[in-house]
Amino acid sequence: MSEYNPSRIEPKWQNHWVGRKIFRTDDSDRSKPKYYVLDMFPYPSGSGLHVGHPEGYTATDIVARYKRMRGFNVLHPIGWDAFGLPAEQYAIQTGTHPAVTTQTNIKRFREQLQALGFSYDWDREVDTTDPAYYRWTQWIFLKLYERGLAYEAEIPVNWCPALGTVLANEEVIDGKSERGGHPVVRLPMRQWVLRITRYAERLLEDLEGLDWPESVKEMQRNWIGKSTGADIIFRLKGHDAEIKVFSTRPDTLFGATYMVLAPEHPLVDTITTAGQRAAVSAYIESASHKSDLERTELVKEKSGVFTGAYAINPANGAEVPVWIADYVLISYGTGAIMAVPGHDERDWEFAKTYALPIVEVVGGGDVTQAPWTGDGKLVHSGFLDGLDVAEAKSRMIAWLEERGAGTGSVNFKLRDWNFSRQRYWGEPIPVIHVDGGPKPLPVDTLPLTLPDVERYEPSGTGESPLATITDWVATTDPETGRPARRETNTMPQWAGSCWYYLRYISPDYTLGPVDPDREKYWMPVDLYVGGAEHAVLHLLYARFWHKVLYDAGVVHTVEPFQKLVNQGMILGEDNQKMSKSRGNIINPDDVIRQYGADSLRLYEMFMGPLEQVKPWSMRGVEGVHRFLKRVWRVYMQEESEALSADIRPVEATREQLKVLHETIRKVTEDIENGRYNTAISQLMIFNNEAMKWEVKPLEVMRTFVLLLSPFAPHMAEELWEKLGNPETLAYEPWPVWEERHLAADAFTYAVQVNGKVRAQLTVDAALADDQAYVMGLAKADATVAKYLENGIKKEIFVAKRIVNFVV
RNA sequence: GCGAGAGUGGUGAAAUUGGCAGACACGCCAGACUUAGGAUCUGGUGCCGCAAGGCUUAGGGGUUCGAGUCCCCUCUCUCGCACCA
């Protein structure tokens, strides 16, 4: 009885691979070219793997196995991004230490990944919650601090009273907490902040050289949000003060008919006149209560209040009123704008609402009807009249700079990165506070380990649970012995995932985060596969840290991830996003139990292009499972464990070699180009052919097993063994196709008349390029001749493909 | 609203980049072997039409001997960003 039985052969090979460390990477072997293929760092959640995980993981595993066979030294690691809120929430509910929960989850994830047959080097597993790992996360933090890139600031954060904790922006959805849907308010709090803005320009520029999806690059560009313009200074009438604004349109300065400050702008209080004070205070009050949701929902209706103050337009000396309005954001630019209603949508709407003057300074539209934001000749603008926008911009900047009234300037949307979390289950920030100021711990005291706490609830004051451990918080400065207070904030989950790809390179290294010698060999990551949800934050933060480490001489490449691929989400069978509430979740364990890991792997790749969003189909799984069963029947006898007697060491026929070499070529090229679905189609085509052969040449069948192996490694290893090979096929040389076997004996021409196919013409290969011969043959065809009776206007001949007569 | 991407059979999708649209699968139909089949094998299957033939890649226009592929317009969907001056 030798039915294809994945539940027997799969564990056998998984044990073989893991037990004998078949995929341990030997990085002392520098004779081979290296290939670093990386999966995005998984968070080991309590619910285990979902079918989205194996999608990207199978793709990288195929590449890893293929590259090994192509003679590359392959680094293909996995590990755990294991800090994070869920384990802490669970601890609050049950009292179980997050470390215990985390280790349980990791164990489950590891077993699940091994059950899929991925060829990871398990000796390089990393775990962000391991002090031996986060020691170096802390070390990098100190590097950031040392380089002036980490600072403390009182910044408004998303305080959630119900959860008693501060939330990251991405955890706040429509003004409510992502978990639980509790209200969230903005509250200033002392935070550690990383100065990512200092790297804005480089983060933007270096996108150019990366082999990443254009959409991801574009999202990063938008997030960084560079805009070029000028800072312009407006003096205030009757005050010894001035307002600095940022504008991308300094050319329109003559059209600035009023100014707007953000309600939070520090000058508001100073300049507000007695008569306007009540109205201004009321407006500031109401604006502060508006949630982000309300602010965005009220986009259409602009509101604001006049402060009573006037400023002097530096271009023409005109007095312009100064307003406050919440359409101006305190967090962007200088928190103040010059309003040019003739040439800006928002200013135009505001001016219409409050009947402020609208002046045309760029021709091309009718500013009484709509703002004109396009190009045109400058008018009503003194020395700029007649210039176009680009020229007027640079003239105006020069003019402002001569008079000290402004400078050319660049602004970014990107903000500094709030790096504090008021939580327990994260890396402690290695800082103490002495005499009211922060002081980094000496590097030789690292790691600063997480102490145990009695209770995991937030302290309620907004501080992390660590603040409740008074004997931990109270410490002494190791250098001076003076009393000190420990930092109680911990790092965000991003921290560990910002540099894990470096730790894989030398997980055992004790002198730094990464061994410089091995780093030079392995970096950069050649292929990075993961979900599009990390298109901005993770990838931007990791790039930032990498550049800092580059500047610190820790790494030798400017960018960490050379090529990036985003796998598309897998939807449920109902075409909806998989979710518990919809009940459409597919559990990979069930699929493996019923069809085996090879079927799951194959199906996930066969569904369609990796990058595409696509719905799950159990029928589809059955389809690829049937394919594997057919492969099995081609190789194995029906009634025994023995190889089929049809497989014999005989010379292959031309046809057999042709389909084999076509398969080698197609599979090779498709893997190289990430087209795993069509590679599998070709494997099916080969097997469909092989089923028809009465005698199956051993050498051909041996080669096919190698081609199948990256996709369905368990079955391939089993068949390889049956074919008489004692060793794993993982390092067998990848088959190479030969052009001579691809040559066709004959070609079929489509004969068209006026672009419509009227006949098929099979021409012997030797004559296929002979235009005169083929055309003669085509004209002689009875059906074609019928259409040619009235003479031929033009003849088209495309060698080996098509003939077209225009009549 | 702005930005990016995508629309191909009943379904998932292919299409050497301008050369026979629908490979490979799923599903469906018929048959074979079967007590049975949700196993396996064989054949069929874009749409209309008895047929000859005609029509087909979201819709409309264009370039070309020839367009799923290139250009213009319209529609729809997905993702991202939301007053960024």
What's the pLDDT tens digit per position in A112-132? 999 999 999 999 999 999 999
> Average pLDDT of chain A?
91
Looking at the predicted structure, is the pLDDT value of residue A765 above 80?
A: yes
Q: Is the CB of A691 under 7 A from strand B?
A: yes
Q: Beta carbon of A248 within 7 Å of strand B?
A: yes
Q: Check pLDDT > 70 for residue A292.
A: no
Say what the pLDDT of residue A297 is. 53
Cis ω before A524 (30° cut-off from 0): yes
Specify the nucleotide whose C1' lies closest to residue A747 (CA). B20
**pLDDT at residue number A597:** 96
pTM of the model: 0.93
Positions 618-637 in A, CB within 7 angstroms of strand B:
619-620, 622-624, 626-627, 629-630, 633
A649 token code pair: 């060491």
Alpha-helix runs per DSSP H in A434-528: 470-473, 494-497, 500-503, 516-522
Confidence band (pLDDT; 50, 70, 90) for A350?
very high
Is residue A175 over pLDDT 70?
Answer: no
The answer to whether the beta carbons of residues A681 and A688 sit under 8 Å apart is no
DSSP result, A593-647: HHH-HHHHHHHHHHTS-TTS-EE--HHHHHHHHHHHHHHHHHHB-SSSSSBPTTE
> What is the arithmetic mean of pLDDT over A53-80?
97
pLDDT in the model for residue A1: 38
Mean pLDDT of A76-93: 92
Bigger pLDDT: A340 or A375?
Answer: A340
pLDDT > 90 fraction of chain A, expressed in percent and rounded: 70
pLDDT digits (tens, 9 = 90+) for A564-593: 999 999 999 888 888 888 888 899 999 999
For chain A, give the percent of residues with pLDDT over 70.
97
* Residue tagged 């004692």 (tokens): A726
Q: What is the mean pLDDT of residues A705-733?
A: 96
- pLDDT at residue A199 is higher than 60: yes
Instruction: Determine the distance between A56 (CA) and B15 (C1') in angstroms.
Output: 25
pLDDT at A149 over 80: yes
The DSSP symbol for A391 reads H
Q: In the complex, which nucleotide's C1' lies nearest to the CA atom of residue A762?
A: B20
pLDDT band at A178, cuts 50/70/90?
Answer: low
What is the value of ipTM here, to two decimals?
A: 0.94
**Distance of A208 CA from B17 C1′ (whole Å):** 25
Check pLDDT > 70 for residue A176: no
User: How many residues can be counted in chain A?
Assistant: 807
pLDDT at A191 over 70: yes
Give residue-wise pLDDT tens across range A388-438.
999 999 999 999 999 999 999 999 999 999 898 888 999 999 999 998 899
How far apart CA A344 and CA A335 sit, in angstroms, is 17
Residue A515 neighbours by CB under 8 Å, 6+ apart: A505, A506, A509
Q: What is the mean pLDDT of residues A251-265?
A: 94
Residues 557-596 in A having a C-beta less than 7 A from any atom of strand B are: none
In this predicted structure, the answer to whether residue A804 has a pLDDT above a threshold of 70 is yes
| A486-531: pLDDT as tens digits | 999 999 999 999 999 999 999 999 999 999 999 999 999 999 999 9
Q: Is the dihedral of CA A646, A647, A653, A656 positive or negative?
A: positive
pLDDT surpassing 90 at residue A547: yes
Would you say residue A658 has pLDDT above 90?
yes
pLDDT tops 80 at residue A742? yes
Quote the crossing angle between the two packed helices A698-708 and A713-722, to the nearest 10°. Answer: 160
Q: If you average pLDDT over residues A242-269, what whole number do you get?
A: 94
The nucleotide whose C1' lies nearest the CA of A758 is: B20
Query: How sure is the predictor about A298, in pLDDT bands with cuts at 50, 70 and 90?
Result: very low
Rounded to an integer, the average pLDDT of A15-44 is 95
Look at residues A215, A68, A66, A63 and name the one whose alpha carbon lies nearest to residue A526: A63
Residue of least CA–C1' distance to B26:
A620
CA A711 to C1' B37 (Å) is 31
